[in-house]
A and B are shown apart, each in its own frame.
Chain A
Amino acid sequence: MTKLREFPIKGKYGKYGGKYIPETLVPAINELEEAYEKIKNDSDFKKELDYYLQNYAGRPTPLFLAKNLTDYVGGAKIFLKREDLLHGGAHKTNNCLGQCLLAKRMGKKRIIAETGAGQHGVGTAMAAAVLGLKAEIYMGSTDIERQKLNLFRMELLGAKIHSVDSGTKTLKDAINEALRDWITNVKDTYYLIGSVVGPHPYPMIVRDFQSVIGEEIKYQIKNFTKRSPHALICCVGGGSNAMGTFFPFLDEKNVSLYGVEAGGQGVRTGKHSATLKEGSEGILHGMRTYLLQDEFGQINDTHSISAGLDYPGVGPQHVQLKDMERAEYVTCNDNEALDAFFKLSKLEGIIAALESCHAVSYAMKLARKMKKDENIIVTLSGRGDKDIDQVMKHKKKYISR
C-alpha cells in the first residue's frame, strides 16, 4: 500500500490538488516545481534554512507540558507545541523563511503574498527584510480594518500593502488579487503562498517547510515518554500548522490526528468556516479541494472570530486525510475558542491566538475522555496579542468570574 507520506503523486492527493490555473502561470508553476525539486535534498539549502530557523527565528520551539490545564481538565496529559514563541509570533515564519530562500535561489527579487489576519503578511515581511527581498502584501480591506496592528507591523518591516476591495474584501479576495498580480508580473515575481493551498506544488512546499513542527515533536516527546503521542490536535483554516504537525506522523497509525475548524457562531447558523465538515468538492485558487459554496458553485462568505481561520477552502491533503479517515475534523465555535483563550491565559500564563484556541478547546474536550497516562499534543500556532482588541469585547463575561 502507498504510504501517506508519499503523496502528492503527480501533484495529487488522491483526486484532490492538481493545477487549475490560468495558462500564464503554468511556466511559473513549473519553474517553481523544478527549483523546489533541486533544493529539496540540497544540503547547502538545508543548512542555510536551518541557520535562519535557529538563529533568527528561534527554533526549536519548546514542547511544554501544560500541567495546570491538564489538572484542571482531569484526563490525558496536554502538551503544547509552542509555535507562538517563534519569531513573528506564529508558525508562519517557518514557511516564509523557506520560501524566501527558495525565491532567492530562483533569482526572484520581488515577493508577493496574501494575508488574512496579517500573520502571514508579517512573516513574509520579516523574511523578506532579513533576506534582502522586496515584499508586497495583499490584504482585504475588511481584514485591514480588523487587524490594524498587523498592518502597521508589516509597514514597519518595509513591506508595501495593497488593500483589496473586491468581492468579500477578505482572505480569498486577497489571494485572487495576488494571483492577478502574479499573472501580470510573472517574470520577476515570486508568489509566497501562506498555507497548504493553491496549485501544486504549493501545498507540498508549504507542508514540507512546516513539517519542522512535527519533526521536533517526534524527538521532544521522548523527554517525557517512550511512546508516540496518542493524539495531535491543531486548528485548520487552510491547514498549514496542522499539516506541518501531522505530516511526520501520517504513517504512524497509532497516533490519532484531529483538525479543528472554526464553527463560528455555530455550524447550523451558516456563519462558520468549517470547510471540511460542511463543504463540498470544488475548484478554487488552483486546486481541487473542499469549498464552502452555494448550490451554484459560488464561494460563500465565511465567518470566524479568528481571521486566520476565515477561509472558504482547505488544503487538498486534508481532504484526502478526511476521505481516508486518517484524520478526524471537528469544529469549535467562537464562544468555545474564547473560553479556551481565557482559561489558557489564567491557568498557564499563555495568551494564545484565537485560531490556536480552537485546538485548545477541543483538546480539553478530548482529554476528559482519555486516560491520565495518555498524551495529547496541541500545536499553539500563534500568540494572541493580535486578538486583544477582539477579546476585550467579550471580557466582561470572563474576567468577572
Chain B
Amino acid sequence: MQNNRIEKTFFQLKAKKQKGLICYIMGGYPNPIACESIISSIVDGGADIIEIGIPFSDPIADGPVIQEASFRALQKGVTPQICLNLIRKTRKRYPDLPIVIMTYSNILQKNGFKQFMEMAKEAGTDGFILPDMTIDESKKYLEYSKNLELASIFLVAPNTSNLRIKKTLAVSTGFVYVVSVFGTTGMRNSFSKYTLTAIKNIKKLSSNKKNISIGFGISTPHHVKLMSNYGADAVIVGSAIIKKIDGNKDGSMIELQNNLTNYVKSLKAACTN
C-alpha cells in the first residue's frame, strides 16, 4: 500500500501529525534551467509533493497568472518532452519526492494516452492531474493509470453531488483534489462558508480512506491553517508561487531562490502546528 511515493508521504505526514504541502510550478518556466533551481528551493523550503504543469495553449481551468505563464513558456519553446526531462532530473536528485503532472487531456491525447503515460512513468512521474478529464470519460485513462501504477488524481468541486463525490473517491488514487472555490486557479483574499462545508462533506464521505487536498486560491499561512482546520490532509499552492517568480524579473536568481524557500517554509510551518 505504501509502496508508492504519494501514499508513503501522506502516511509519514499523518504519523508526524502534519498536513502536506503541495507546490505547483510551471514546467520550464521562466526557463528550463531556472526551473530546476526553483524546484530545489521549493523542496528545500519543505514542499512535500511537487506538481509540474505542462503548458497547454488553452488552459480553461486556469486563471490569469497560470494562463500567462503557460503562454510565455510555450513562446519560449517549452515542450512536454522538456517537462519530462525536468521530471527526470528532479527524480534523480530527490528519489523519494512525489512528483505529479498537471496538464490538459490533449497533451496526452496527442501522443496517445498510453504512450504518454509510459514516458511520464519512465521519467519518474507518480501521477496525473487533468482538470478537463471527468470520471465519465476516464475508462482507458484509469486502466493505463492502474497498469503503470500512476496515481489518477481527480478533482471535486464545491457543487459536486454526494453520489458523484463517492464515485470520484472510488476511482481516485494518491489524493483527491478538492477545488475550494467556484472559479479558476488564482489567489483569493478570503474563502466563503461553502468551502468549509464542501471540505467537511468530502472528508465525511471519504471516511478517512482518501487523502484530501485543497487547492485554488490558497496563498498564505493563514489560508493553510484555515484549510487544515477544515480537515484537509494537504493544501495545494500554485499561482502564488508563479507570481513570486514573475515578481522577480530584475532580481537575481539567488534572491528568488531565497524568497521561494522562505515563502514555502512559512506555508509549511502552518502545516506543522
Contacts and interface: CB of A to CB of B under 8 A. Distances in A.
Interface of A: 18-24, 26-27, 166-167, 172-173, 176, 179-180, 183-187, 280-286, 288, 291, 293, 295-299
B80 A20 contact: no
Given A27-B161, A297-B106, A286 B57 contact: no
Nearest to B158: A24
A282 B137 contact: no
20 contacts: A20-B105, A22-B61, A22-B131, A22-B157, A24-B159, A24-B179, A24-B182, A27-B157, A27-B159, A27-B160, A166-B64, A167-B57, A167-B58, A176-B59, A180-B61, A180-B63, A183-B182, A282-B109, A284-B106, A296-B110
B156 A23 contact: yes
A286 B131 CA distance: 11
Interface in B26-71: 56-61, 63-64, 67-68, 71
Contact of A183 (B58, B61, B67, B136): B61
Nearest to A18: B137
Given A23-B156, A187-B182, A282-B106, A299 B58 contact: yes
Contacts of A26: 134, 157, 160, 164
Given A282-B106, A296-B79, 19 more contacts: A19-B134, A19-B136, A19-B137, A22-B60, A23-B131, A23-B154, A23-B155, A24-B183, A26-B164, A180-B63, A180-B184, A183-B61, A187-B182, A280-B110, A281-B109, A283-B105, A288-B137, A293-B106, A297-B80
Nearest to B160: A23
A336 B241 CA distance: 51
A contacts with B: majority SS: mixed
Contacts of B246: none
B179 A23 contact: yes
Contacts of B68: 166
The winner among B59, B159, B164 for most chain A CB atoms within 10 A is B159
Nearest to A286: B132
A213 B215 CA distance: 46
Given A26-B164, A180-B184, A20 B159 contact: no
Which of B104, B110, B157 has its CB near the most chain A CB atoms (within 10 A)?
B110
A180 B159 contact: no
A20 B61 contact: no
Contacts of A293: 106, 110
Given A176-B58, A281-B109, A24 B71 contact: no
Per CB-CB distance, the 9 closest pairs between chain A and chain B, nearest first, are A297-B110, A24-B157, A184-B183, A23-B157, A298-B57, A283-B105, A299-B57, A23-B155, A283-B106
A297 B133 CA distance: 16
A167 B71 contact: yes
Contacts of B58: 167, 172-173, 176, 284-285, 299
Contacts of A184: 182-184
A284 B58 CA distance: 8
A283 B56 contact: no
A297 B80 CA distance: 9
Contacts of A183: 60-61, 182-184
Contact of B56 (A22, A23, A297): A297
Interface in B118-170: 131-134, 136-137, 154-161, 164, 168
Nearest to A12: B137
Nearest to A180: B184
Contacts of A166: 64, 67-68, 71
Interface in B77-129: 79-80, 104-111
Give the one of A167, A173, A280, A285 with max B CB within 10 A. A167
Contacts of A21: 132, 134
Contacts of B59: 176
